[in-house]
Amino acid sequence: MLRAGYYVTVADAGRHGFLLGPYRAKRTAERNVARGRRMALLHNDRAWFYSFGTGRVKASIPEAKPAVFTDHQCSVTCEKGE
Cβ atoms within 10 A of the Cβ of 64, count? 11
Residue type, 78: C
Cβ atoms within 10 A of the Cβ of 39, count? 23
81 domain-assigned = no
- What does the pLDDT look like over 28-45, one tens digit per residue? 999 999 999 999 999 889
14 domain-assigned = yes
82 domain-assigned = no
Judged by DSSP in three states, 16 sits in: strand
Regions of the chain short of the pLDDT cut 70? 70-82
CA distance 18 to 46: 17
Query: For position 34, what pLDDT does the model report?
Result: 95
pTM, entire model: 0.80
55 domain-assigned = yes
Domain span including residue 31: 5-71
Give the closest residue to 39 by CA, choosing from 21, 55, 24, 60: 21
80 domain-assigned = no
77 domain-assigned = no
- The count of structural domains within the chain is 1
